[in-house]
């Protein structure tokens, strides 16, 4: 369905009128879905956490906070907030794209084998809506980070729903994507890995397709995804303000 909560005249002017949040019992965190302009303080906390995490793992070169802190190229962001009010993980969504050149993947594969295939794979999907997930991180806590990653892997679906797109893509080191495939993501096996951000890593591309993700998702993840999307749909259609927007558009 198309999200009725949009205040938009064009795809690039997508706006939320408010944030959404839901409690995740597995991580004992609240997942907030918002935009930088709606939750400016939370956006800053999310970026600060990303900067700390990337620096700790020695990949700060892959994160240009100065370039993204305005939030202008971020359609949505997702922040996991624990019971102490700390942001303990998150990621952001860009798109829907109008050109493959908008994707950071073309930078990651620049001058490397597979660049043409990367461009073609994105371009072929543009008519159906392509969203890219970026700047993912979780707190460095062995007791929680896997659970947080499992939860964040399901954010592809509210992103597709709210941004009215069929596809979500992400790029990351192969060992990281192994944790994300649980929600139905499929690694683009025909595209060779690229050493990004440096020679220590073998970065690959992953895709989620809202039409067939169920065939690839782990059963528990699929069940949680369907429950969460049903709840989001209920919120979208029951919200009085959004109902007024739908009526005004008829």
Sign of CA dihedral 49, 175, 211, 28: negative
Q: How confident is the model at residue 244 (pLDDT cuts 50, 70, 90)?
A: very low
Model pTM? 0.88
Residue 4, both tokens? 């009725």
User: Average pLDDT, stretch 78-96?
Assistant: 96
Q: How confident is the model at residue 241 (pLDDT cuts 50, 70, 90)?
A: low
Write down the pLDDT at residue 174. Answer: 83
Write down the pLDDT at residue 56. Answer: 87
CATH classification for the domain delimited by 11-249, as one of 3.40.630.30, 3.40.50.300, 3.10.20.30, 3.30.1490.190: 3.40.630.30
Q: How confident is the model at residue 12 (pLDDT cuts 50, 70, 90)?
A: very low
Write down the pLDDT at residue 28. Answer: 94
Residue 234, both tokens? 């209920």
Write down the pLDDT at residue 233. Answer: 85
> Which of 147, 151, 152, 199 has the alpha carbon at shortest distance from 173?
199
Write down the pLDDT at residue 13. Answer: 66
For residue 36, count CB atoms less than 10 angstroms from its CB and return exposed for 0-12, middle for 13-18, buried for 19 or more: buried
User: Average pLDDT, stretch 36-51?
Assistant: 96
User: Average pLDDT, stretch 108-122?
Assistant: 96
Write down the pLDDT at residue 239. Answer: 65
Residue 32: is its pLDDT beyond 60?
yes
Write down the pLDDT at residue 94. Answer: 96
């Amino acid at each position: 369905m198309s999200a009725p909560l949009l205040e938009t005249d064009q795809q690039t002017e997508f706006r939320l009128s408010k944030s959404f949040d839901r409690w995740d019992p597995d991580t004992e965190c609240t997942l907030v879905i918002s935009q930088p302009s709606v939750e400016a303080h939370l956006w800053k906390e999310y970026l600060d956490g990303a900067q700390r995490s990337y620096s700790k793992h020695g990949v700060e070169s892959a994160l240009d906070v100065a370039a993204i802190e305005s939030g202008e190229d971020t359609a949505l962001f997702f922040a996991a907030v624990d019971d102490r009010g700390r942001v303990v993980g998150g990621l952001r969504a860009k798109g829907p794209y109008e050109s493959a050149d908008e994707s950071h993947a073309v930078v990651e594969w620049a001058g490397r084998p597979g660049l043409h295939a990367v461009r073609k794979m994105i371009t072929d999907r543009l008519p159906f809506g392509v969203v890219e997930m970026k700047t993912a991180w979780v707190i460095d806590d062995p007791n929680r980070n896997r659970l947080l990653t499992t939860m964040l892997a399901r954010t592809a679906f509210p992103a597709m729903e709210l941004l009215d797109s069929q596809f979500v893509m992400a790029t990351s080191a192969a060992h990281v994507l192994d944790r994300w495939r649980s929600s139905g993501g499929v690694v683009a096996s025909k595209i060779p890995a690229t050493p990004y951000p440096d020679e220590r890593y073998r970065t690959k591309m992953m895709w989620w397709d809202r039409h067939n993700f169920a065939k690839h998702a782990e059963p528990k993840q699929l069940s949680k995804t369907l429950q969460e999307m049903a709840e989001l749909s209920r919120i979208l259609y029951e919200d009085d303000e959004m109902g007024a927007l739908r009526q005004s558009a008829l």
